[in-house]
Amino acid sequence: MNNKAIIQAMKQRVYEANLALPKLGLVKLTWGNVSEINRSLGIIVIKPSGVKYQEMSKEQMVVTDLNGQLLETNALKPSSDLPTHLYLYQKMPEIGAIAHTHSLNSVTWAQAGRALPPYGTTHADAFYGAVPCTRALSESEIKENYEEETGKVIVETFHEQELDPLAVPGVLVYGHGPFTWGMTPEKAVENSLILDEICSMARLTEIINPAVEPIDHFLLDKHYLRKHGISAYYGQCCDETCEKEG
């Protein structure tokens, strides 16, 4: 496949992933964005800024280099969150796509400024432990390079807590909302949906039992590791690599 065909395929995947956000109830209006990186070509494809989902086309997906410079003539402006995506791609070389939403339940938890505890196996199936919440950005961080500083505070949180981005594929940014990621745009969106669902479940769980504690580590291990890692056994063997995902 030549470079032009690769870029067109990326645009199609990013377009479809962005359209999935309102279909799944994760965004309203023009909120949210999805991007994908191709490290060998040194390019990123991301949603254009402020374009309504119902009016968006594949051709409008914006292609930039790894510094955020536009690579196509007559291109629309990229999402204002591009600097956040760029920084995460730079510091998290394991990931291939990023999704950002303003979904109700995830934003509610982010505004509360709390990490999301693993209260059950639905959480453990996708996130290996608590989903962290970042610290608040300082006034100077917000005024100077807000979007890039958002990326920096996410990376700072994962570094300080010694978290694996593949094992915990998402974060709550204090006062803002969720960012999730995966190897593909589809997977990044799936993790956004899961995160919003488990935020809702956790909130209701705490209402029913304010003294609830996170599940035991051995139950967390069982549910996460049966879907992820070399000993995973959940799902079907699709090819010779026997990739096992739910």
Residue 106 has pLDDT above 80, yes or no: yes
pLDDT value, residue 237? 61
Write the single-letter amino acid at 139. E
Torsion of Cα atoms, 49 then 53 then 58 then 63, to 10°: 20
Whole-structure pTM value: 0.92
Q: Tell me the torsion sign for CA atoms 213, 217, 222, 227.
A: positive
pLDDT value, residue 244? 36
Average pLDDT value for the chain: 94
Which residues are known to be catalytic? 125, 234
pLDDT value, residue 236? 63
Residue 240 has pLDDT above 70, yes or no: no
Label the pairing between strands 177-182 and 33-38. unpaired
Partners of 63 in beta bridges: 45
Q: Specify whether the CB–CB gap between 203 and 116 falls below 8 A.
A: no
What's the pLDDT tens digit per position in 160-176?
A: 999 999 999 999 999 99
